[in-house]
Amino acid sequence: MASISERTFIAIKPDGVQRGLVGEIIKRFEQKGFKLVAMKFMHASEDLLKEHYIELKDRPFYAGLIKYMHSGPVVAMVWEGLNVVKTGRVMLGETNPTDSKPGTIRGDFCVQVGRNIIHGSDSVESAETEINLWFTPEELVEYTSCAHQWI
Q: Is 116 annotated as a binding residue?
A: yes
Q: Is 101 annotated as a binding residue?
A: no
By the 8 A CB rule, do 26 and 36 touch? Answer: yes
Q: Is 40 annotated as a binding residue?
A: no
What does DSSP assign to residue 102?
Answer: B
Run of H or E including 12? strand 6-12
Is residue 148 part of the annotated active site? The answer reads no
Choice among 43, 52, 70, 119 that is catalytic: 119
13, 118 contact by CB (below 8 A): yes
Side by side, the strands of the sheet bearing 74-81 are 35-42, 74-81, 6-12, 118-120
**Would the annotation count 95 as a binding residue?**
yes
Report whether 106 belongs to an annotated binding site. Answer: yes
Instruction: Check whether 61 is labelled as a binding-site residue.
Output: yes
Indicate which residues carry an active-site annotation.
119
Instruction: Indicate the annotated binding residues for ATP.
Output: 13, 61, 89, 95, 106, 116
Instruction: Indicate the annotated binding residues.
Output: 13, 61, 89, 95, 106, 116
